[in-house]
Amino acid sequence: MIRQITPSMRRHLYSASSAPWRELEWSCWDACVIGSGPGGSVAAASLAQAGKRVLLVERGAFRPVDDLNFSVLDMAMRLGQVDLTAGGRTTLHSGRVLGGGSMIFGAVAMQPPSHVFDEWAESSAITGLSGDLLSPHYKYVGDVLSVTRQTARQENRANAIVRLMAAAMGQEDGLELAERYTAGCRGTGLCTLGCGFDLKGTMVNSFLPLGLETGNLTILTECEAVALETEPAREGLRAVALHVVLRGSQDAVAVRLRIRARRFISASGSLPTSALLMRSRLRPSTCPGGRVSLQPHGIVHAVFDEPVTYRGVRDNGRHLPMNGVPAIYNFTGLLKQRSYYWFASSVHPSSLAAYTAHLPPDEHRLIMERFHYTSSVTVTLRDNPERSCIVLRRDAPQLDFLESARDCEALRRCFLDAARALLEVGARQVFLPMLQPPHITSARDLLTITAAYMSCDRLTLYSDHTSGGNALGVDRRYGVTDLSGRVHGTTNVHVADASLFPSACGVAPSWTIMAFARMIALNLAGTP
Amino acid sequence: MPRTTSSTPRLSEADGRFLRAVTRVLVTPASYDAARIDVVANLERLIERANDANRANVLRLVRWCRRIACVYGGPLLPARAARSKIIAVQKLARALSSLCLLAFWGDEAALSLIDAPDRTS
């Protein structure tokens, strides 16, 4: 069910320019939640519903529904943020707007397979950490966001190619239609621009209105968390205030505030949460920022003789590509065997153009001329980097990582499988996400993939599923946070985002983030 | 209250000339002329609506690309730098290409080229 932030709710939603500074500084909130993505919104709404006075701070601005449209030029670079890992090895995408990552995700609802929870329980030494623990929270979140399983009828041509590829690999049983947060999706395939129809389940049309309607939730946008102010307590460090900077996009001035609360819940994602804890000087009580997983994506493109995407339609005078995204297949068979999954990505011409920008201009022009004949398969690796940690560069977080040899070989295997399967189902030419991609038009050319040097430096990978940094652990030897999300060595600092994950979850992480956030919030509210 | 100041930078005229020339290399001249898309105006629109971090990244990228372009044939940078042995240069060229292509193909006028592919050859 799609909810909306009504005009009366907006009385509790402030921007940098409208914030009542003095009132905010004088108040002492029951909880201050940092970040309004899936974790922060669910935690804030759950606490507000339990009767707690909550202040939610978000670095980005509020974009109301009538501010969203399908124009790439209006929306690209507006809702999200693009960062580079150290040395420019990989691109990281994150949300920077009220609603966080939910505004730019594909609305895919997935739960990690049971073996992932088994691994997490083992690495964190937390007994009882399992999918069953989260199942009531998965259900609640699923109900609020109208999670629906897609049907084969909604399959588009690009998805059909993935199904054919699976059959060519003898893996057809390993495919599973994904569930999505979409009550009435019209299949534009432009979810990452923020759904202009407002039919995608985001935090702005689900949990934030739920929290605001209680009257207990106040939201402050264009507000960047700088550091927590702590003081020693008997059981460890106790946070007494959060220092923030308020700055609107057009404002020439920034205002610094000190926000007091009884509990602080950081849910702004792996990098910002780790950076906040690092800037708050919680060491040596805890060491945030380690064991980060990228779960990188690489897009393999292939040109066919038959059309793969649909022609656009006119909608209110606007030309929409309408390539459809409903039937996304989760390649669970491969996830278990080889630690990666595939899905068909339907793209706008501008995203196809940008994702193939590494090709030589003549090949690029060919792929754009054959836009309707080009299929894109996104390959996602469940990685286990050799080195990955978050470092502060001029107080801003940067991910310093080095992929492991095993990950490089998995990627090679991935590209080989994808290219071979695409050729078997009729692709005329396959384009790999490599800076100097090999020319692949026949099975003989696959040898070039076997011989290619694999390194993230040479690949055009990106990640919007970064996780870890403040992993769960029974004590500080195993991780940074306990099962209630509390940071070890502190009494009232909690984490409720993907940085809790001890390793990559292997699937789209939003549903799991929300389930954890609700469990943590209900524990804090005393109503588990 | 302690306050700090900030300003909103924009593309210069020289940046604009460079970006137009690069886009003409990336897209066929026929498509470029047929669609009549002002890439620089589109980039300005992208930058104007982008958040601070993205805006700063774009302007830094354009500045660096203009600096190294004299070594790689000016607007031929995307084609020539892609064959460079220096990974950082390859990545820079790819990022510049992405930006120009996004500004071209993100324009709704470009969709008419897609739905009538014979006009692009």
pLDDT per position as a tens digit, A255-296: 899 999 999 999 999 999 999 999 998 876 667 888 899 999
What tokens appear for A13 in the block?
């939603």
Give me the residue from A21, A252, A358 closest to B5, CB to CB.
Answer: A252
Name the residue with tokens 């389940």.
A201
Confidence (pLDDT) at A17: 87
The mean per-residue pLDDT over the stretch B23-50 comes to 89
pLDDT tens by residue, A322-379: 666 555 666 655 655 556 677 776 668 888 899 999 998 888 988 888 888 888 888 8
What tokens appear for A280 in the block?
């708050």
A 405-434 → B contacts, CB under 8 A: none
**Is residue A523 classed as helix, strand or coil in its secondary structure?**
helix
Confidence (pLDDT) at A375: 87
In a mutagenesis test of the B interface, which of A250, A369, A393, A461 is the best target, namely the one with the most B β-carbons within 10 Å?
Answer: A369
Give pLDDT < 70 ranges for chain A. Answer: 174, 249-252, 284-286, 317-319, 321-340, 345-347, 527-528
What mean pLDDT value characterizes chain B?
84
What tokens appear for A161 in the block?
């190619």
Question: Closest by alpha carbon to B113, among A319, A357, A231?
Answer: A319
B4 pLDDT higher than 60: no
Give Cβ neighbours of residue A377 (< 8 Å, ≥ 6 apart).
A158, A161, A162, A165, A299, A300, A301, A302, A342, A343, A344, A345, A418, A422
Confidence (pLDDT) at A527: 66
Give me the residue from B87, B88, B95 closest to A458, CB to CB.
Answer: B87
Binned at pLDDT 50, 70 and 90, residue B115 comes out as: low
Cis peptide before A284 (omega within 30 of 0): yes
Task: Using an 8 Å CB-CB cutoff, list chain B residues near A249.
Answer: 51-52
Measured between alpha carbons, how far is A306 from A174 in angstroms, rounded to an integer? 26
Confidence (pLDDT) at A339: 63
Confidence (pLDDT) at A192: 85
In a mutagenesis test of the B interface, which of A62, A253, A350, A436 is the best target, namely the one with the most B β-carbons within 10 Å?
Answer: A350
A 321-360 → B contacts, CB under 8 A: 321, 348-350, 352-354, 357-358, 360
Confidence (pLDDT) at B118: 39
Confidence (pLDDT) at B116: 53
Q: Bridge-partner residues for A313, per DSSP?
A: A320
Task: Using an 8 Å CB-CB cutoff, list chain A residues near B51.
Answer: 60-61, 77-78, 81, 96-97, 249
By CA distance, what is A353's nearest residue in B?
Answer: B101
- pTM summary value: 0.93
Confidence (pLDDT) at B14: 92
Confidence (pLDDT) at B117: 42
By CA distance, what is A93's nearest residue in B?
Answer: B54
* Minimum distance, in Å, between the CA of residue B64 and any CA atom of chain A: 14
Task: Using an 8 Å CB-CB cutoff, list chain A residues near B101.
Answer: 350, 353-354, 357, 364
By CA distance, what is B118's nearest residue in A?
Answer: A369
Confidence (pLDDT) at B120: 36
B18 pLDDT higher than 90: yes
| Contact assignment for B88 to A88 by CB distance below 8 Å | yes
The answer to whether the beta carbons of residues A138 and A515 sit under 8 Å apart is: yes
Binned at pLDDT 50, 70 and 90, residue B2 comes out as: very low
Please give the interface size between A and B, counted as residue pairs whose CB atoms are below 8 Å apart: 142
Percent of chain A whose pLDDT exceeds 70: 93
Task: Assess A88–B contact: CB distance below 8 Å, yes or no.
Answer: yes
The DSSP result for A182-220, as a single string, is BSS----S-GGG--TTS-B--STTTHHHHHHTTT-EEEE
Largest CA distance in chain B: 62
For B24, how many CA atoms within 13 A lie in the half-sphere containing its CB? 13
Question: Closest by alpha carbon to A145, among A442, A411, A514?
Answer: A514
ipTM comes to 0.87
- Cα dihedral B53, B54, B57, B63, rounded to 10, equals -120
* Minimum distance, in Å, between the CA of residue A126 and any CA atom of chain B: 38
Task: Assess A371–B contact: CB distance below 8 Å, yes or no.
Answer: yes
H helix intervals, B50-86: 52-69, 77-81
Distance of CA A259 to the CA centre of its chain: 27
